[in-house]
């Protein structure tokens, strides 16, 4: 990683006094604004925030927060907010936080909600635009989902920027996952091609927690907390029958973070299967024989499987994708249910199995209090960055500090569970499952 790859683009010099400075002065005269020279080292082995002279040759993220001078004149600024991709707890909290901060702290009065993702910019879909104000968003954080609606799939960036121009938009806030961020980059490229002064700021949304270079995405804490309820039910069902098996499928296309954290939070799980760790079903050291031994010892077992695990067994066509470009997955939960049932029938061992798939329940609930705090803070720093003319970036938490991350870097891959990490070791330690099923 080189220092230049972490630099944040800016639309121009900031010459306007920020109205937010009055708020800082009222709260605490000792409170200081953040400068572009305040950085968080990419290599956090020192866990230090250093000045510009210390980090000039070291890769470091720009710290998020209010700037003393801003680029946009609030009285002339028009902002748009769009939400894309699947649902996730906390989206409404982020929308509300941005509207409140723009309106009350920066005196921006023209804020628009784009309906149903990137489709909302395309005239042929005919979606209305919402005027967003504190009165409109005051209660939305109490509900799951997104008040703006959402959709999957990319739209023509030329048409999108045409719409931004027609609406005289100064700032576009994009709430979405890696596919949405890649789409935002294309929009930004078209903006630059036209030499427009429009800021594009991303707030990363992914229930799978798979965005690169951030500690955690909003909604993730709520997701695995909700998953615990399903695991608890599976455990109760497993205890209720002779050789009872509770099988729970959780979200996680390529990354097994929800499965890992939920299993650790509900320490009654005996097997965790994730996409990052291949497993063998048959054989002396295979998963099925390990499950059999567990039942012989304890007469019950709880299995948690991430949706992207074991896809090699399903022979799915990897050329088939959904609207977001994700490879269509086979249903590993139903597959395991069938395979487990057939195996124990074959060895003439009676089992009682209950299968639970809470995916859509988990992603549609309101955010937990802790996630709400996180959503609000992300919304606030996204507004600060936008008003300072930052662009082509997302906001995120890196080693417990809120920072600016270039979109290109954030969308360069997916964060995954490292099989050699202390997280996976903790899962193995908690479940007692073998290091490998082979």
- CA dihedral (131, 134, 135, 137) in degrees, to 10, reads 80
Handedness of CA 168, 171, 174, 175 (dihedral sign): negative
In 3-state terms the chain splits into helix, strand, coil percentages (rounded to 5) of: 40, 20, 40
For residue 287, give both structure tokens.
Answer: 């998963």
Type and span of the H or E element at 183: helix 178-193
Backbone angles phi, psi at 142, to 5 degrees: -80, -5
* Contact of 406 with 243, CB cutoff 8 Å: no
Q: Provide the angle, in degrees to the nearest 10, between the axes of the packed helices 287-298 and 332-346.
A: 70
For residue 37, give both structure tokens.
Answer: 């020279």
Nearest to 121 by CA among 143, 95, 148, 94: 148
List 93, 208, 357, 392, catalytic entry: 208
Residue listed under structure tokens 């990897």: 318
| Alpha carbons 408 and 94: distance in angstroms, whole number | 22
Q: From edge to edge, which strands make up the β-sheet containing 300-306?
A: 271-273, 300-306, 244-250, 352-356
The SS3 assignment for 285 reads: coil
Question: Annotated catalytic, 208?
Answer: yes
* Contact of 400 with 47, CB cutoff 8 Å: no
Residue listed under structure tokens 């800021």: 199
Active site positions, annotated: 208
């Amino acid at each position: 990683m080189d220092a230049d790859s972490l630099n944040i683009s800016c639309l121009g010099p900031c010459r306007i006094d920020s109205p937010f400075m009055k708020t800082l002065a009222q709260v605490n005269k000792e409170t200081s604004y953040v400068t572009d020279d305040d950085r968080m080292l990419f290599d956090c082995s020192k866990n230090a925030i250093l000045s510009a002279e210390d980090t000039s040759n070291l890769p470091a993220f720009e710290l998020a927060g209010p700037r003393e001078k801003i680029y946009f004149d609030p009285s002339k600024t028009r902002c748009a907010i769009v939400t894309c991709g699947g649902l996730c707890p906390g989206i409404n909290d982020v929308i509300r936080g941005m509207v409140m901060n723009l309106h009350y702290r920066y005196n921006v009065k023209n804020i628009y909600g784009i309906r149903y993702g990137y489709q909302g910019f395309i005239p042929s879909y005919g979606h209305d635009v919402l005027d967003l104000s504190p009165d409109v968003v005051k209660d939305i954080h109490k509900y799951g989902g997104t008040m703006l609606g959402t959709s999957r799939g990319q739209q023509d960036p030329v048409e999108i920027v045409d719409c931004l121009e027609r609406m005289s938009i100064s700032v576009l806030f994009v709430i979405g996952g890696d596919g949405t961020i890649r789409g935002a980059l294309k929009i930004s490229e078209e903006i630059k091609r036209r030499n427009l002064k429009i800021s594009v700021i991303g707030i990363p949304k992914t229930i799978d927690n798979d965005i690169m270079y951030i500690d955690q995405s909003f909604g993730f804490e709520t997701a695995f907390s909700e998953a615990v309820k399903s695991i608890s039910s599976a455990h109760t069902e497993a205890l209720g029958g002779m050789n009872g098996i509770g099988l729970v499928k959780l979200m996680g296309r390529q990354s097994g973070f929800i499965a890992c954290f939920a299993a650790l939070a509900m320490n009654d799980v005996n097997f965790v299967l994730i996409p990052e760790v291949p497993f063998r079903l048959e054989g002396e050291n295979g998963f099925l024989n390990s499950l059999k031994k567990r039942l012989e010892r304890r007469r019950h077992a709880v299995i948690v499987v991430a949706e992207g695990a074991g896809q090699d067994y399903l022979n799915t066509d990897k050329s088939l994708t959904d609207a977001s470009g994700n490879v269509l997955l086979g249903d590993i939960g139903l597959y395991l249910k069938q395979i487990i049932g057939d195996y124990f029938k074959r060895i003439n061992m009676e089992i009682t199995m209950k299968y639970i798939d809470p995916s859509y329940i988990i992603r549609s609930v309101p955010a937990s209090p802790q996630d709400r705090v996180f959503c609000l803070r992300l919304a606030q720093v996204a507004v600060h960055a936008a008003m300072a003319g930052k662009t082509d970036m997302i906001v995120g938490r890196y080693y417990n500090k809120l920072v600016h991350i270039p979109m290109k870097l954030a969308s360069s891959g997916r964060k995954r569970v490292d099989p050699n990490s202390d997280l996976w070791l903790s899962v193995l330690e908690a479940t007692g499952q073998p290091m490998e099923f082979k």
